[in-house]
Amino acid sequence: MLPAAYWQRRDDADTLQYIHRIDINPDTLKHRDSLSRHPRAMLEIELLTTVIDTHQIDELILMNLDYFQLALASPLARRLNCRISGIQLQAYTRSELVARESPWNISLWIVALRKRYRLQKMLKNVSIGRLLVPADTIAVDLLNERHASSMQAIMLPEPYLPDVNDVDEIEQIDRCALRARYSLEPGSRIILIFGRLIVRKNVENVIRAMQILDQKSNNKAVLLVVGKTSAPYQKKLRALAQENPITQSSVRFDFDFVDDAVMHALFKASDVVAMPYLKAFQSSGILFQAVRYKKPVVTANQGLINDLVQHYSLGKSVDPASPEQISEAIAQLLHTWTPSSGNQSLIDCHTAKNHAAVLLNQNVVV
């Protein structure tokens, strides 16, 4: 059940022979967008019941299991005549681990307990089979320790990294053209923030960190902030950069959409990728792009991203609320960081091929 445009892009005959497309009458879901989350999920479960019975489906794999958890606990969902698996994007065990690091933060505990309640409700459906948790072996181990009698939790490799070095197949932006685009002087060291810009991305504290960073150390450090965001937030970020003479000249903003060629050029040219996100406890595609180009990252000192950075020696972890720590981490990475073997270890695991193999329940060692 994917848009027609998706199939128009699939031109690999060897792959297409294994894919059976099921078209859905748009009128079936015409009221979907007017519904709140749970009624919308129930409507989709009702539709899936018909599809599964009609096409004799053996296993239903939900690409966002979190969305369907309460719906799967309903009597209607228990009529789904197949095994049910899915990707658990936000495992409660990860939220619980983060809450333990801040035991007095009641809101974190509420989030963890709410997620645990929803999972326990869902597991009353005896058709639940595999829970696929992206990149998080610690959360998987805890889930299996607590719920092995009801389901099987499996670490799902992220599909962000290529099975082969396909970067050269993408039209490359000339490095000089990139520097001209962002008015970068020769020899500038680039700190990159990339992706959708929201408060949780902590852009403001990275800008404050640039105010602290010693511009006299011949770093010629420039912060590139690249991504879509709202007009009010654009205004707020620009105003913050204008507060200090250092950031007036060392921060560049690009709030327009950038294509793949520019994105790859940005990561290739950057020296440090800044991602000290606030309350972001899951994985991130930005981390894997940095790994692809062997670029060090500055990340928050909690959550799955921190675990990956520490385990694979991918950069520095800091208190995301501290511009001083962010600045110090950037300075250290600019001066002393060299890629470790951890980059290749992560690349070997998190490929599209391994992602598909685990998703489709094929034998793969990850």
231 and 263 housed in the same domain: yes
Closest of 62, 63, 51 to residue 21, by C-alpha: 51
27 and 118 housed in the same domain: yes
Q: Distance between CA 285 and CA 274 in Å, rounded? A: 13
122 and 74 housed in the same domain: yes
Q: Distance between CA 339 and CA 273 in Å, rounded? A: 13
Model confidence, pTM? 0.83
For the purposes of burial, counting CB atoms within 10 Å of the CB of 299, is it exposed (0-12), middle (13-18) or buried (19 or more)? Answer: buried
141 and 176 housed in the same domain: no
Residue 355 within a domain = no
Residue 183 within a domain = yes
Q: How many domains does the chain have?
A: 2
345 and 219 housed in the same domain: yes
Q: Of 102, 125, 156, which one is at a domain's C-terminal end?
A: 156
Residue 362 within a domain = no
Residue 45 within a domain = yes
125 and 172 housed in the same domain: no
pLDDT tens digit at each of 366 positions of the chain:
443 433 444 455 556 667 777 887 777 777 777 888 899 999 999 999 989 999 999 999 999 999 999 999 999 998 888 999 999 998 999 989 888 887 788 988 998 999 999 999 999 999 999 999 999 999 999 999 999 999 999 999 988 755 444 555 445 566 778 888 888 888 889 999 999 999 999 999 999 999 898 654 556 899 999 999 999 999 999 999 999 888 888 999 999 988 888 888 899 899 999 999 998 888 888 999 999 889 999 999 988 999 999 999 999 999 999 999 999 999 999 988 887 777 788 888 888 888 989 998 876 555
190 and 338 housed in the same domain: yes
Q: Of 156, 185, 204, which one is at a domain's C-terminal end?
A: 156
- CATH number of domain containing 200: 3.40.50.2000
Residue 161 within a domain = no
Per DSSP, what are the bridge partners of residue 154?
A: 132
Q: Of 107, 131, 156, which one is at a domain's C-terminal end?
A: 156
Instruction: Give Cβ neighbours of residue 210 (< 8 Å, ≥ 6 apart).
Output: 191, 221, 223, 246, 247, 250, 251, 327
Question: Tokens standing for 260?
Answer: 């793949």
Q: Distance between CA 85 and CA 127 in Å, rounded? A: 9
302 and 216 housed in the same domain: yes
246 and 284 housed in the same domain: yes
What does the pLDDT read at residue 358? Answer: 93
Question: Tokens standing for 31?
Answer: 């009221």
Looking at 89-147, which runs of residues are DSSP E strands?
A: 128-134
Structural domain of residue 119, as residue ranges?
Answer: 4-156
| pLDDT tens track for 118-148 | 999 999 999 999 999 999 999 999 999 999 9
